[in-house]
A and B are shown apart, each in its own frame.
Chain A
Amino acid sequence: METLVYQFEGGSRGLPAQPQVVGVVGSGNLEVLIEAVPLAGACSIEIKTAAVGFGATWEAVMRDFHERWQLKNARIAINDMGATPAVVSLRLDQAVETILGGAA
């Protein structure tokens, strides 16, 4: 297992208080827990992944995610079992859409 932590600043979109979890920790899949937490405006993402050695790919996918959603005061925690970058991006979008109450 490998733990990766990223923090992004400068976001503008706040989240409702009710935490949400989407996805399942199964082969090629992941779960995403998203919560509104006061972090001085930051968006923090912690990943625990079974696939060791893909830090650069994770960082790129997380950077794209932050550019898409611009979250602030958001804590995201991921348990991953080898999901591909496309699946990770879709789950992250699903997590945000679910917590915002949109069509997930």
Chain B
Amino acid sequence: MSSYLELTARERLARLFDTGSFEEFLPPAARVISPHLAQLDAPVSFDDGVAVGRAVLDGVPVFCAAQEGGFMGGAVGEVHGAKLTGMLRRAVAERASAVVLLLESGGVRLHEANAGLIAVSEVMRAVLDTRAAGIPVVALVGGSNGCFGGMGIVARCANAVVMSEEGRLAMSGPEVIETASGVEEFDSRDRALVWRTTGGKHRYLMGDCQFIAADDVARFRQGAVDAIAASRTAGVELSLAALETEQSLLGERIARFGECTDPLDTWTALGIADAKAVPMMDADSFAATAATHRLGGPQ
């Protein structure tokens, strides 16, 4: 067993895909760095915090990217976003079999202001264009920085999301919510609450992620393979019917759980007998428990 959480972006690429198969576009030696950070006299990284390229997954050639959470929390700057967008466009141009995104990001890199915001929106558009070309895009979320802000949206633009319990996925991060709405609304220092609310188990029960994996590279690899296969079965291109189904699911969530003040209440409302036991379950027993209760149907 090898923890996915603890690996760097490059280590994940090396171990998740078939051995030695990752071929990088714009590698660090190309030195395509952020022009904005240098102006701010801030440290840069030779890959601007993301590695993009192609690799082989279980014998199948795919395109891929991995964000490095250790560099500025995986935040998306202009170059970082352009690398993701460029990889996705190339996946379409070269009729790739699938795209696997190893996401770990706090969202847009605010140092880069509008350039960063535009870059994230271009990534979203490119993900949807890739799906429109019939190429499944799957997102893996299991890094310690989670997947927040614009990259949280990107993850949910993908065909499927694979998460570990340790992974977190949301729009606004815990500290943002506390700052905006007060500690009574959300205590960002309550780690158990943060993981109950944004962690993989809650996301899986709510239908926001479609696959739950133990924090293990081999499990994430299998999750990516399964997610690509399931995406083909479900239909790769985002359709109006799928959007309307999603919208009604969200409406049902508000109707059913709008009065809940803690995910524990939500899980009880879903029919889980001992909701308090959920955070302590290992991934396999959790998946077995969740199977008959989760929203969004079985996978």
Q: Which of A21-59 contact B (CB under 8 A)?
A: 21, 24-26, 29, 31, 33, 35, 48-50
Chain B's closest residue to A27 (CB) is B70
Chain A's closest residue to B38 (CB) is A1
Pick from B42-50, B77-85, B159-167, B258-266 the stretch touching chain A. B42-50
Bound CA span A12–B47, Å: 30
Pick from B10, B29, B46: contact of A79, CB under 8 Å: B46
Q: Is B257's beta carbon under 8 Å from chain A?
A: no
Q: Is A19's beta carbon under 8 Å from chain B?
A: yes
Q: Is A77's beta carbon under 8 Å from chain B?
A: yes
Distance in angstroms from B62 CB to nearest chain A CB is 22
Which residues in B have their C-beta under 8 angstroms from that of A15? none
Secondary structure of the B contact surface, majority rule = loop
- Residue-wise, chain A 42-85 has the 8 Å CB interface mask toward B (1 for contact) of 00000011100000000000000000000000000101110000
Q: Is B286's beta carbon under 8 Å from chain A?
A: no
Contact (A19, B71) CB under 8 Å given A79-B43, A79-B45, A81-B43: no
Check B29 against A26 for contact (C-beta < 8 Å).
no
Check A25 against B28 for contact (C-beta < 8 Å).
no
- Residue-wise, chain B 45-89 has the 8 Å CB interface mask toward A (1 for contact) of 111000000000000000000001011000000000000000000
Check B28 against A19 for contact (C-beta < 8 Å).
yes
Q: Is B41's beta carbon under 8 Å from chain A?
A: yes
Check A33 against B28 for contact (C-beta < 8 Å).
yes
Distance in angstroms from A36 CB to nearest chain B CB is 10
Which residues in B have their C-beta under 8 angstroms from that of A81? 43
Check A1 against B43 for contact (C-beta < 8 Å).
yes
Bound CA span A50–B28, Å: 20
Distance in angstroms from A6 CB to nearest chain B CB is 19
Check B68 against A79 for contact (C-beta < 8 Å).
no
Chain B's closest residue to A25 (CB) is B45
Check A79 against B44 for contact (C-beta < 8 Å).
yes
Check B70 against A29 for contact (C-beta < 8 Å).
yes
Q: Is B27's beta carbon under 8 Å from chain A?
A: yes
Bound CA span A83–B208, Å: 39
Which residues in A have their C-beta under 8 angstroms from that of B29? 19, 21, 33, 35
Which residues in A have their C-beta under 8 angstroms from that of B42? 1, 50
Chain A's closest residue to B8 (CB) is A24
Which residues in B have their C-beta under 8 angstroms from that of A31? 28, 45-46
- Listed in ascending order, the chain B residues whose CB lies under 8 Å from chain A are 8, 10, 27-29, 31, 41-47, 68, 70-71
Nearest 8 interchain pairs by C-beta: A24-B70, A26-B70, A19-B29, A21-B28, A25-B45, A25-B71, A81-B43, A1-B41
